[in-house]
Chains A and B, each alone.
Chain A
Amino acid sequence: MEHIIADISTTKKKNLFKSGAAQKLLALGALVLLILFFTLASPVFMTSSNLISILLATAVNGVLAVGVTFVIITGGIDLSIGTGMTFASVMTGVAITFLGLPIFVGVFVGILTGAFIGFINGINVAKLKIPAFIATLGMMMITKGLSLVISGAKPIYFMDTPEFANISKATVLGIPSGVIIFFLAAVLAHIILNKTIIGRFNFAIGSNLQATRLSGINTERWLIIIHSLTGAFVGLAGVLMAARLNSAQPALGQGYELDAIAAVVIGGTSLSGGKGTISGTVIGAFIMSVLLNGLRIMSVPQEWQTVLTGVIVIVAVFVDIYRRNKQSI
């Protein structure tokens, strides 16, 4: 059986390359290059206040991106995360400012709201078999509308509870708490994805839904759980957002989903499902925020920043696809 042994030695090499490690390395390399470039191009970039502002800007998008990584690994998509995040922050505002509930209850309400939106998405996608793109597009509009209705289309300020802002702005060793929460959330997500049964089924469903179902696994239920999990992270992002702005802004949020999905894709998670890492997503989120921050420092107009972000996303996906095609021959 010489040929079997020979086969194995090549597949091993392939695996190393295929495991997404390459894409992650590429992304990490790109991030380092970006940082080097902006450091040389602008004296302001490497200042501690600018670094903090990059970290803060990454936190909200990062938590969203980490959350949506789960759904994307199932081979699905969630377009409602941006406005869902807004809705969660509005509900936090309602709980704390309108109802006068304690801050921790408000945080809980925010996360739960996100999880509930995810739960409904999960039912629509898994049980009612509505294509994820449409189901979550609908949810995007629903949450956008509801945020405006509930808040009366006005920002909800946390005037009586200035401590609320500490969730995002308190510092530990000079690092804002929002950033720490982001890192903790990423670590938690990494553990869920790699060490628990949820993560296992997440990859299994993403690589082969039918085979997973025919193994006697209730794939519908797990899809709902995974969507809810993504939703919980979305809720957390909503809380962070509200704390950072010290208010729930009902008109914000739309467009955030695309930044988050872009971060996931840049980090090497495949939109066709079955492959992905949280660390890749974190790197992707940093690439997005470093790029935007750097361009802003260099006074590149807002419009061009958006154009460049689009280019980066397309290039990242192209690199990924090119790499895969090369292997398949």
Chain B
Amino acid sequence: MVKNVIKMVDIDKRFPGVHALKDCSFELNKGEVHALIGENGAGKSTLMKILTGVYDKNGGAIYYKGKEVEINSPKAAQELGISIIHQELNLMPDLTVAENIYIGREPMRFKGIFCDSLLQNKMAKELLDNMNVKIEPTVKVEQLTVAQQQMIEIAKALSFNSEVLIMDEPTAALTESEIDELFRIIQELKAKGVGIVYISHRMEELKKICDRVTVMRDGEYVGMKNMNEVTIDEIIKMMVGREIYEGVHDLERHQNHEVVLEVKHLTSGKKVKDVSFQLRKGEILGFAGLMGAGRTEVARCLFGADPKDSGEIYINGQKVHIRSPKDAVANGIGYLSEDRKRYGLVLGLDVNTNIAMATMPKFSNRLGFLKEDQEKVNATKYIDTLSIKTPSGKQLVQNLSGGNQQKVVIGKWLTRNCDILIFDEPTRGIDVGAKSEIYKLLNELADQGMSIIMISSELPEVLRMSHRIMVMCEGKITGELSRNIATQERIMTCATDRTA
């Protein structure tokens, strides 16, 4: 009996012009959680795409339970019992839980004419009960939280009798308590002998849940360690191949600086209830809370992206009316969405244009003709100062890495002279190296007198990067903590304070 379910040996993959994987190896044991980590572009997803039959390999061999196999299509992988749960969930919101799990494999009655939805629901129930998850199979997926939807994806994978489960950034959209629930399920799967490949950027998690870790860098296998024999710092060093800037800037306090933004009794629908706060010049104000606490909604409402029902907004002591993003921008507010690709950037256009996007009238003459040379001069300035890694300003934004895309959005608002910046999850989907660069940038912006609202679900990030922390729960502000008294525990207490 061989111990490992998966063994990938000397995997080689070339794309036209890039050597994406060079002799990479990976192995996974039965009932093991094996972390696969590396910076964006290190080759993790390419390796996993080869394992799941999305890409063909150019060299090397894959062994499944000791036997060499050719996995040349996703279907072949599925039939072997290898399933992947992508970061973006692939569920149909209008269908029920059971329908989603058994899509394309519905149990049939009467010679395959009718779907047997009773049996289907029963099967789904058993599956979910087995996982110890309390979700009704007849509920529509759109009514579930992201965490619950993820459980459904896991259940779906298990319904294929998968013995290998690949999870790509499973906790990216989850809150602390949801993560605990996910970890509980991972433990149960482990006990049942399922091998799990765990891809994540969150170092703290790896320690908690993983048995071994394989590190990749620049398409190469760097090494494999037992989790209990290695520190997080050592892992990071393996990942980036150098010491990284830690980013813990000792932030000076800005208590005496004037208030640039004051929000009074902001209310919008059910998600924002009577929210009041002040933001000072040069301050980084963190917004903490669980998923769905209403932080993003406050930001969108303040930015005019969503309508507000009542409440007042003062900028530099003057009352302002913000009915659309246009009004907000005119008042010097810039918003950096958590979903850069959907809300922050026009991916199909180049860097120059994206940086100019909020300031277009300045870059065109009275007849509407564009001044592309000025656009270029401006963009070049920010490519230099923000050190955006791009071959030229003509590069399409979709080809930049997450960290560099974030910098393009920052450049866009700096071009517009915005001095109040709202960062919603500023480092989501950004790898460790680029993360510390973003932190450095946040510090520099604050030092230059910009005022920053930073919404983050990562508590260490909030604690490290904020002067003051507002905590929200169910649409209300449930706590305000200054930097010197804030701890993870205090924040969590406020974040779960449903009585307020």
B329 touches A215 (CB 8 A): yes
Q: How far is the CB of B48 from chain A (nearest CB, A)?
A: 15
B347 touches A207 (CB 8 A): yes
B349 touches A207 (CB 8 A): yes
A11 to B345, CA, bound (A): 18
Count residues on chain B whose CB falls below 8 Å from chain A CBs. 48
- Residues on A with beta carbons closer than 8 Å to the beta carbon of B104: none
Q: How far is the CB of A191 from chain B (nearest CB, A)?
A: 8
Give the nearest-CB partner of A201 in chain B: B360
B345 touches A10 (CB 8 A): no
Given A216-B326, A216-B329, the answer on whether A211 and B346 have CB atoms closer than 8 Å is: yes
A10 touches B370 (CB 8 A): no
A7 touches B399 (CB 8 A): yes
B342 touches A3 (CB 8 A): no
State which of B16, B325, B369 has its C-beta within 8 Å of the C-beta of A214: B325
Tell me which of B87-95, B150-158, B172-180, B388-396 binds A: B388-396
Taking the complex as formed, is B112 at the interface, i.e. its CB lies under 8 A from any CB of chain A? no
B389 touches A1 (CB 8 A): yes
B326 touches A3 (CB 8 A): no
Give the nearest-CB partner of B334 in chain A: A216
A263 to B409, CA, bound (A): 36
B349 touches A197 (CB 8 A): no
A7 to B395, CA, bound (A): 12
B368 touches A196 (CB 8 A): yes
A196 touches B369 (CB 8 A): yes
A281 to B426, CA, bound (A): 41
A11 touches B335 (CB 8 A): no
State which of A6, A8, A211, A274 has its C-beta within 8 Å of the C-beta of B342: A211
Given A197-B360, A214-B337, A215-B325, the answer on whether A204 and B349 have CB atoms closer than 8 Å is: yes
Taking the complex as formed, is A173 at the interface, i.e. its CB lies under 8 A from any CB of chain B? no
- 8 Å CB interface, A1-42 against B: 1-4, 6-13, 15
Most chain-B CB neighbours within 10 Å: which of A195, A203, A208, A329?
Answer: A208
A211 touches B345 (CB 8 A): yes
- Residues on A with beta carbons closer than 8 Å to the beta carbon of B361: 197
- 8 Å CB interface, B164-188 against A: none
Q: How far is the CB of B432 from chain A (nearest CB, A)?
A: 14
- 8 Å CB interface, A126-176 against B: none
B325 touches A208 (CB 8 A): no
- Residues on B with beta carbons closer than 8 Å to the beta carbon of A196: 364, 367-370
Give the nearest-CB partner of B372 in chain A: A195
Q: How far is the CB of B236 from chain A (nearest CB, A)?
A: 17
A4 touches B345 (CB 8 A): no
- Residues on B with beta carbons closer than 8 Å to the beta carbon of A207: 346-349
- Residues on A with beta carbons closer than 8 Å to the beta carbon of B497: none
Taking the complex as formed, is B455 at the interface, i.e. its CB lies under 8 A from any CB of chain A? no
Given A3-B42, A15-B396, A211-B343, the answer on whether A197 and B370 have CB atoms closer than 8 Å is: yes
B324 touches A218 (CB 8 A): yes
Q: How far is the CB of A329 from chain B (nearest CB, A)?
A: 8
- 8 Å CB interface, A207-224 against B: 207-208, 210-218
B343 touches A6 (CB 8 A): no
- Residues on B with beta carbons closer than 8 Å to the beta carbon of A4: 41, 389, 401
- Residues on A with beta carbons closer than 8 Å to the beta carbon of B328: 216
A172 to B335, CA, bound (A): 55
- Residues on B with beta carbons closer than 8 Å to the beta carbon of A329: 54-55
Given A195-B369, A215-B329, A216-B358, the answer on whether A274 and B348 have CB atoms closer than 8 Å is: yes
- Residues on B with beta carbons closer than 8 Å to the beta carbon of A12: 391
Over the window 347-361 of chain B, the binary record of Cβ atoms lying under 8 Å from chain A Cβ atoms (1 yes, 0 no) is 111000100011011
B325 touches A200 (CB 8 A): no
A200 touches B343 (CB 8 A): no
Q: How far is the CB of B122 from chain A (nearest CB, A)?
A: 39
Taking the complex as formed, is A227 at the interface, i.e. its CB lies under 8 A from any CB of chain B? no
Taking the complex as formed, is A275 at the interface, i.e. its CB lies under 8 A from any CB of chain B? yes
State which of A13, A210, A218 has its C-beta within 8 Å of the C-beta of B16: A13
Over the window 379-395 of chain B, the binary record of Cβ atoms lying under 8 Å from chain A Cβ atoms (1 yes, 0 no) is 00000000001010001
Over the window 79-95 of chain A, the binary record of Cβ atoms lying under 8 Å from chain B Cβ atoms (1 yes, 0 no) is 00000000000000000
Taking the complex as formed, is B19 at the interface, i.e. its CB lies under 8 A from any CB of chain A? yes
Q: How far is the CB of A254 from chain B (nearest CB, A)?
A: 34
Over the window 395-412 of chain B, the binary record of Cβ atoms lying under 8 Å from chain A Cβ atoms (1 yes, 0 no) is 110010100000000001
A275 to B367, CA, bound (A): 24
State which of B330, B337, B370 has its C-beta within 8 Å of the C-beta of A200: B370
State which of B17, B349, B357 has its C-beta within 8 Å of the C-beta of A6: B17
Q: How far is the CB of A325 from chain B (nearest CB, A)?
A: 13
Give the nearest-CB partner of B418 in chain A: A216
- Residues on A with beta carbons closer than 8 Å to the beta carbon of B329: 215-216
A275 to B346, CA, bound (A): 12
A268 to B249, CA, bound (A): 51
B303 touches A7 (CB 8 A): no
- Residues on A with beta carbons closer than 8 Å to the beta carbon of B412: 215
B325 touches A213 (CB 8 A): yes
Taking the complex as formed, is B475 at the interface, i.e. its CB lies under 8 A from any CB of chain A? no
- Residues on B with beta carbons closer than 8 Å to the beta carbon of A195: 369-370
A210 touches B343 (CB 8 A): yes
B343 touches A214 (CB 8 A): yes
Taking the complex as formed, is B247 at the interface, i.e. its CB lies under 8 A from any CB of chain A? no
- 8 Å CB interface, B1-58 against A: 15-19, 41-42, 54-55
Most chain-A CB neighbours within 10 Å: which of B41, B346, B353, B363?
Answer: B346
- 8 Å CB interface, A96-143 against B: none
A204 touches B218 (CB 8 A): no
- Residues on B with beta carbons closer than 8 Å to the beta carbon of A217: 325-326, 357-358, 360
Given A207-B348, A216-B325, A216-B326, the answer on whether A200 and B18 have CB atoms closer than 8 Å is: no
Would you list the 7 A-B pairs with minimal beta carbon distance, nearest first?
A216-B329, A207-B348, A11-B399, A197-B364, A196-B368, A10-B17, A215-B358
Report B's interface with A, CB cutoff 8 A. Answer: 15-19, 41-42, 54-55, 218-219, 303, 305, 324-326, 328-330, 335, 337, 342-349, 353, 357-358, 360-361, 363-364, 367-370, 389, 391, 395-396, 399, 401, 412, 416
Question: 19 A-B contacts, Cβ less than 8 Å apart?
Answer: A4-B401, A9-B18, A11-B396, A13-B16, A13-B17, A196-B367, A197-B369, A200-B370, A207-B348, A208-B348, A210-B342, A211-B345, A211-B357, A214-B303, A214-B344, A216-B325, A217-B357, A217-B358, A329-B55
